[in-house]
Every structure is written in structure tokens, then in C-alpha cells.
Structure 1
């Protein structure tokens, strides 16, 4: 079945030869306005109750939002009651302005001001749609008719505000569906509204440019914003705000480019909850600034609390890949990613600039732990496995053993499916390398050095029936190898050998890892002990045991001739 191609209106770019925003960078955070309690709430299958609204409002205040849109009190009794609750219970901090939305209709504006009675400061947000399609097909009005709606709404807002001077008022106007409005008409309406409100005479005014439906690429939206900034009157006397949606998946990008194009203020919601595909995500945009060294003027360090609260209030789960907030966004399953992260973390000092492969920010800045960064599944490699052992058990493996052990872990993951946790990795390492058969457990050793080298006397096995080895070599390892050859008739070639001190102090444990070749086969062993020599000898015994057999070892004289040769 072929995909049906319908006829859609192609969005025309703005004809602009003087665009300046592509050469600009964002150097400071915009003014934020959280609209979770209005735009976000109206998009929920089950709108929030009073307790949920209060919880979310308190979180927004805690995060540092100074402007919070709390509802549409003229259209909803619960919104009206919540507005009254905040005011009458004195729940609004002195430095926070609540914002409410209303259509440009006299009875709705009157009800809005009734809801706001007694507020110290408030933003009255009035709107009407100006887009071509709504003008022609919904309202069936010409430009003059639409402009008259906006002007009348502005006048009614001003009249009510003049009657309640005890509140510090800010007026906000949105030409709804701005992105579908001819730019010259958008400016005409904005100028007409401002002619009523007179921001040039000191009235605080916000002109909000909403991408009510995201209709174009973000660069086109930036052109539209810059064009308006260049053509409206009294631009220096009022704020330009943007309110982007995510229909094309570019809500954050559009808001960022709009700020570069001259916008002073950004409206959005935590986690991008909103109509259709959602609103612009405040968390993502603020953290994008943070990742570039710009103070977002919001405290997002408690990301777990933010996610928990938003999920509880909206009853919408956060996607595990959600930028900055998802459970898996700082997690590396890929082996090459894990190896790079491990090496970068090992090299950096606390005062260094953050430069860690695959991690755009330090997870701890948003309350995440490093143990969430590297997780193991069948796609993981040696770096991730080594990182988990180092992080959780202070066990450092040499590269050759990382490669070998990662195959053990991968086989387990492929067999059982899914993720391999830290305890399982440690169990596999113990079973494969650290477990010691009682018949091969080191009991004691004695090393005597003279001009000929080192003479080793080693006792191992069960306490009631230990075995004794003696051998001579240039070092302890060679001496024990010679002793094993004399006792069991095996020729042991040491291919790799590493030892590590674990922890600090005189009783610190040591880890020894050894790889040997016997009769063309390869065997590895590892051991933990109180000193490196004990660990090395035990690792060697464990490796040889895998060839000879982990039961009671038989000396060369007692073994069949073919094994003694």
C-alpha cells in the first residue's frame, strides 16, 4: 500500500535580505514563563485537581520561575477557584507574577479581573486569532474585523486595570496562530493594541508571538520574529515573547532561534506537556543553556523531583530518552561509548572543564549518579565491564583480561537477555577467576633470595593434607613455575602478568592477574590477597589448576605417563 499524498499548503519563507540572527549567540537566559497549569493542563486527558495544581505551582516557584500562567479563570470554575485560593491563602511569593488567559470578550475579561482581585501583581493575557485560515474560515471576518476584536480586548483590559490600581498589572497580547498570519497584518494588530496600552508611556506590556501550530522550520520562525521586531513601533518599550509548539518536533529549536532573533521571553512547560505533540520543553531549553555555560536562572539540580512531580500531576510518564530527565539519557550500553567515558573520567580532575565523551553535562549536576552512566547488556564491551568493576568493587583489570572477561559477560547477556547488573558481573568474575578449588588454595609460601635467584617453598591444598612445592628461578613467579613443572610435569609459559594494590594502608588487598599457556592452551587466573606475592602465587596456581584439574592434584610420579611427559 502506497503512502497517500494529500495536497498541503507549502509554507513560504520570509523574504528577508537583512537577517542578523544567524550570526548571534545566546549569552543569557530569556525571561521564562511556565504555562503548565493552563496550556499544559488543558491538554490532559484528566485535568489536574486542586492538590495537583498546588503541588506543581509550588515546584515551579521552587525551580525559580517568576512568571507562572495558572489558568483560564473565566472559562473554568476550577481555574477560577484555584486563582482565588492562591491569592486568598497568600501562596504567591512577592517576586512571582501569576498570569491568566482570557479571550478578547468583555464578559470573560470582567470575570478574569474578578478572579485576580487582591493580587499583588498579575499578568492579564488576552488573545484572539489572526491567522488567514481562521480569519476567513472560522470567523468570516476581514482584517479590520479581526483588528477590532484585538483593540476592543485591549481597551476592556485597560479599563478594568484602571479601576484596580492596587495591583501591579502587566498586559499581554497574543495574535493567536501568529505563524499563519501575514507579517504585515500581525504588526498592524500589535501596533493597534499598543496604541491602547501605551507601553511607551510606562505600561508594562508583553507581546507574545505563538507558534500555536508549528508550521515551518525553526529558521523561518526566527525570520518572522526578527521581522516583527524590526517593524513594530515602540519596540524598546515592551517585551517580545514566544510560545512555540512541537508539531514538527522543533519546538525547542524554534524558541532558541527566536531568542537569537530578538525575543526576550519564552513560554513553555516542564517536559513539554501540551496540546497535540506538546509545548516547548522548558527543561530541555534551560539545560541546553546550562550545557553551554549559561546560567538558566532556574534550579534544575533536583531532576528526579521534577520528573516525579510532573508525572504525578499530569499522569503522563516521562520517556526514558527524554533529554536530561529520562532514565537512560546518561546511560551508555555501547562498548565503545563505555570505554571512552571510563577513560575520560579517569583523566579528569575536579577543577577541569567538563569534557567527557558522550556526556554533554556532568550527570551529578542534575542529581544523577555515575553508577547510572554505564550499564551492561549484550552490546557492551570491555570498557563498560571494567568500569563497573572499578566503580563498584575497586577492581582494576589489565586490558588483556578486560577483553577476555567481557566475552564472558556478553555470553551471559546473550543467554539470559536484557541487562546485566553489577552484582551479576561481580559474580561472574568471581566464578571465572577468583574462585579457588580447595585442593589449590595457597596455605603459605617462603621465598629465599641468594646469588642464584629466588628459591620458593610453597604449601597449598587442604589443611589436613597440604602439598609442598619447591623451585628455583630468577623471580618468585619463575621459581613457582619451575616447582610446578617438577611436581606435575607441566611446562607453563607466562604470557601476561599484572598486579594492583586495592585501597590504602598496610592491610590493603592486592589483585594479581595472570595468563599462562600450557601445551598450546591458554588459561587465566586472578586472586585477591593481603599482599601482591600471595595474590600472584594464588593466581598462578588457579590458572594451572584449570589445566591439571581442580580436584586433588596428582604429582608427576603418580600420573599416567602421557601426562608426565
Structure 2
């Protein structure tokens, strides 16, 4: 395959990009450390997450999301940028005036280091019991040169002036305990010594103490290096900062390189104590760091994350409703397929692991391919182990294809999986491969009542418009009463469907159709799968025949019969 592009990637020696300069830290300590306690978590779903949505959340949706975050256990929540718009301001006032904020939760508000914005922010805070004022300005060489055209002293002055104003305005909200958070935006691209210089200038003005700490948030605004370099930046900063005991070092990692989780974990090893992020990683570009993944990673290592994801599907449902985003099916922990093994070897290993765990009565989770017990986060055991009462569509579909060559359509996996689950519940034992096929025969291939095909003939004719069409002449027994029907369509299935509907014998539409051969020789049978939409719902039918047209017609009747009769097993 030849890939043609207008400009194209460079080959060989790459001159368009330069590697990130590593930090000089030969005696780094973070590689030998472990995460043993949860950081302070701060959700930025209502700010960073919201501003990245194609359709930002309404005030009511933000309130629902806020309540969800409180329920999960967040004690610090960045609720918005109240000086940026009237909507943001009104949301802030509703939180305070309608008493949505629990006593143990601190709201955080974002503001640029601009005088009028800081004043408006403090107006929005009146009546709040506790608040973090999050001040930021860009500090990187790239931003200084391209965006602002300012030198380092001028950038430091912007930050310092903002801190002085905030310090002066604290008295205007005497009922509110104010914590200052400062972010040198684009810390990841800022010279490490200058990042330290500007943060220490902020600290000198604010004058924090070990009892009244400042939060220094060191954001990977754009992820530009490998996670180990990010960890070196954090450790270097922590080791060189004056009066380190007066500051909480916070991380705010984006996912541009796809390593946001790793960068955050390594940053915690390097000395950070606080993490800002979003549920499921929503945010600008490739997103913020995913706090769900971070927290559950800790949980699988025996560390209490201090966040409750016991009902992750319910959390996901509210998140998707409020953001109008979908959690990818391969998203760690939350994705639809993350606990599904389509490989037979994986299924076998999981099954043996589950059996061994049950026999051992050990409190330690120890199952191959499953780093976490799905039940801990509100997931079930469906579709993760071999075919028994806990099995699902993935394993059933795999065995049906590998053992019998039946390549059922994906949507049919769900339907037949329910058939097998019902059988497993009735039997109370493992279902053998032969029993799988027997259930398929009984549920699909042997469904010949009340509709049964007696004869079918198709022939090409000219319709009234003068175009070629297929006319079918068929005899169908309904409750053993024969009915001869005729119909025209663009093919045998279409003609047969029209004939049944036009003669008032059935009421349905064709939803999907697929077929394939079973074997390679001349006497090979074909299998057809038909899905019909009926007043009772959507139903699949299936049939085998050496003639693919006849298999398709029988499959239509199989689906019709299934729509009229409940599942039965001998």
C-alpha cells in the first residue's frame, strides 16, 4: 500500500522537530519510590473539561455534575472561571446561594492575572465558606516570545501584581477562607530555573506558612516529553524550592503524548502531593489526565484512592449525559469491552483463575488477565469467562465460530448470549460446545412454527415501470394451513418480505442480513442470518441450506417464529 500525502513526514534525519532537553538530575530519587497514599484530588471537569466540550454544559447540567463529583468524594472542585462570562458567574452564585457546597468541600475558581478579572472573581465568592483562588499566567519561552513579547522580569511582574491584588482582596470576603493557588502555565515548556524563580516570587508576596500553605500547580499544559523527564522536573523543583514545607505541589497533566497517567504517577513519586484532572480524561486536545484511571490504578496496588467508584457504570451514565461524550469501549476500567476476553486462551485462563480463587477462599484477588475484580466497580462477570452462568456474548461468539464456523453478526452476539445465559441459569452448570450448537439449532434452525416454508420459486420479470424485478411465488404453512403468496422486489428476500406483508400474514421490516458459506467443497451449505423489526421488537433468525436463497427465506421465517414464541429448552 502506497500512502500519498501533500507534505509528508520527514524521513531519516528529522530537522523539523527537536527533542526535549532533559533535566540534569543524576541522583534522582523518584525511580525507587512507590505511591503509598492517595494525593489530594481536585476535579477540573466543570472548567477544563467543560471548556473542551463541543456543547458546554448548561447550569443545570453543571449542578448535576457537581453533585456527582461530591458523591464520588472529591474535596476540591474547580467550579469555573466566574470572571470569564455571566453564565460562569451565575453558576458560582447558585452553588453558594442554594447551598450546594458541603462543609468539607472547597471550591476552586480560575482567574488570569488581570486586575478586572480578579476583582470580579472575588465578587463571585461572597458567601462561600472556603475557596481556592487559582491564579495563572503563561511563563514558557515560547509564550513569552510568540504571544506576549515580554521578557522574564515582565512575566514575573504579571504574577506578582496578581498575587498582591488577591492578598488585598481577601479582606473583602471575611467569611471565606481563601487559599492561593498559582500556576506557571506551560510549566512543562518553561525553563526549570525560571519556573522556580517565578513561583518563589509569588511565595514571597503571599507569605504562606506550614499551617497555611500555598498550592503551586505545575501543569503539563502541553505534554512534550517522556514521563521520566516530567518526574525529573518535579523532583528538581521540590528539591530546589525555598521553604518547601509551606507549599503543596500540584500536578495538572494533559495527554498530548498519550502518557498523562504515567506522567502523573511519576510526578507523585517525585514529590507532588495533589492532582488535578477529570473523569475519563475529558479536556482540551487529547484531554486532561483521567482521574478514574489514576485512582483505580492505585486501588489495584492496595492503596485507598479516597474516591468511590463502586458504581462506575452509574457515574459513567451521568458523565455521558452531562457532557454528551461517550467513554470509549477500550477505556481503562470503564470501557464496555475491557473485561471481555475474545481469545479462547484468555477465557480459559480467566475461568481457571476464578475457580482457583473460589477454592482457595483467599481474600487476595488473583485472576489472570483481570487486574481488578469487576464487581468492585459495579461491573459484572458477563463476557469475561468460559461459557457458564457468568458467560457473555464474546465467549459464545468465539466458540460458535471456532468450533462450528458460524460467524454470527455482532448484534446477534448479544441476543444469542442471552439465550445461552438463560440455558446456563436453567442447567446450573458449564455449557459444553456441543450444547452451544444444540441450543443454536433449537433456538434458530428448528423454529418452524407457526410459519413453515413449503415451496419457493423466484423468477425475473419486467415490472410496470419496465425494469427488471424478482417475483416470488411461495407456499407458507401457518399453523399447518397453507397460504400461497406472491410478491415483487429487488431480490428474493425483498420479494418474499413484501409478499408476506402485502398478504397480511405478517407485519415486519427487514433490519439486517448477512450470510456465509460453511466449508469449501461443492456440497457446502450456506448459513443466512436475518434480523427483523416486528411490533414485538427486533429478532434474529438463522437457517442452513445448500441454496443460499432458500437459507435466506427460511431465516426470515425463523425470525418471525421467534417473535411469536418464548424461549423454550428441553
Structure 2-normalised TM-score? 0.70
Q: What pairs with 1:349-368 in structure 2 (closer than 5 Å)?
A: 349=358, 350-368=361-379
The structure whose Rg is larger is: 1
Is the counterpart of residue 295 in structure 1 residue 301 in structure 2? no
The Cα of 1:392 is off from its aligned counterpart by: 6.7
CA offset digits 1:345-400 (Å, max 9, x no partner): 111135431010000000000011112424xxxxxxxxxxxx3235479xxxxxxx
SS at match of 2:41: strand
**Counterpart contact for 2:296–2:305, Cα < 8 Å:** yes
**Counterpart contact for 2:400–2:407, Cα < 8 Å:** no
CA distance in 1, matches of 2:436, 2:107: 60
CA distance in 2, matches of 1:433, 1:141: 75
Partner of 1:325: 334
Aligned length: 415
The Cα of 1:9 is off from its aligned counterpart by: 2.9
Is the counterpart of residue 211 in structure 1 residue 210 in structure 2? no
Structure 1-normalised TM-score? 0.70
CA distance in 2, matches of 1:430, 1:234: 69
**Counterpart contact for 1:41–1:274, Cα < 8 Å:** yes
Is the counterpart of residue 275 in structure 1 residue 284 in structure 2? yes
Partner of 2:524: none
**Counterpart contact for 1:125–1:173, Cα < 8 Å:** yes
- From 317, 321, 324, the counterpart of 1:312: 321
Structure 1 unaligned regions, length at least 5: 375-386, 394-401, 437-565
**Counterpart contact for 1:179–1:221, Cα < 8 Å:** yes
Partner of 2:67: 58
Between stretches 420-429 and 200-209, larger displacement belongs to 420-429
CA distance in 2, matches of 1:410, 1:75: 62
- From 65, 78, 98, the counterpart of 1:69: 78
CA offset digits 1:20-66 (Å, max 9, x no partner): 00010000110000000000000111110011101100000000000
SS at match of 1:69: strand
- From 105, 113, 132, the counterpart of 2:141: 132
CA distance in 1, matches of 2:408, 2:186: 55
The Cα of 1:233 is off from its aligned counterpart by: 1.2
Say what the alpha-carbon RMSD is for the aligned residues: 2.4
The Cα of 1:163 is off from its aligned counterpart by: 3.0
The Cα of 1:238 is off from its aligned counterpart by: 1.4
| Distance of aligned partners of 1:203 and 1:415 in 2 relative to their CA distance in 1, 3 Å threshold | closer
| Distance of aligned partners of 1:87 and 1:356 in 2 relative to their CA distance in 1, 3 Å threshold | same
Structure 2 unaligned regions, length at least 5: 424-430, 443-570
| Distance of aligned partners of 1:416 and 1:72 in 2 relative to their CA distance in 1, 3 Å threshold | closer
Partner of 2:407: 414
- From 19, 26, 33, the counterpart of 1:24: 33
CA distance in 2, matches of 1:155, 1:60: 32
The Cα of 1:203 is off from its aligned counterpart by: 3.4
The Cα of 1:231 is off from its aligned counterpart by: 1.1
CA offset digits 1:294-350 (Å, max 9, x no partner): 000000011011111111111011101100001111111110000000111111135
SS at match of 1:373: coil
The Cα of 1:207 is off from its aligned counterpart by: 0.3
| Distance of aligned partners of 1:417 and 1:430 in 2 relative to their CA distance in 1, 3 Å threshold | closer
**Counterpart contact for 1:268–1:281, Cα < 8 Å:** yes
**Counterpart contact for 1:243–1:267, Cα < 8 Å:** yes
- From 410, 435, 438, the counterpart of 1:429: 435
CA distance in 1, matches of 2:86, 2:401: 63
Partner of 2:99: 90
CA distance in 2, matches of 1:113, 1:230: 34
CA offset digits 1:146-186 (Å, max 9, x no partner): 00001001111111113323211110000000011111111
Partner of 1:249: 258
CA distance in 1, matches of 2:147, 2:173: 35
**Counterpart contact for 1:169–1:204, Cα < 8 Å:** no
**Counterpart contact for 2:210–2:247, Cα < 8 Å:** no
**Counterpart contact for 1:197–1:203, Cα < 8 Å:** no
CA offset digits 1:492-513 (Å, max 9, x no partner): xxxxxxxxxxxxxxxxxxxxxx
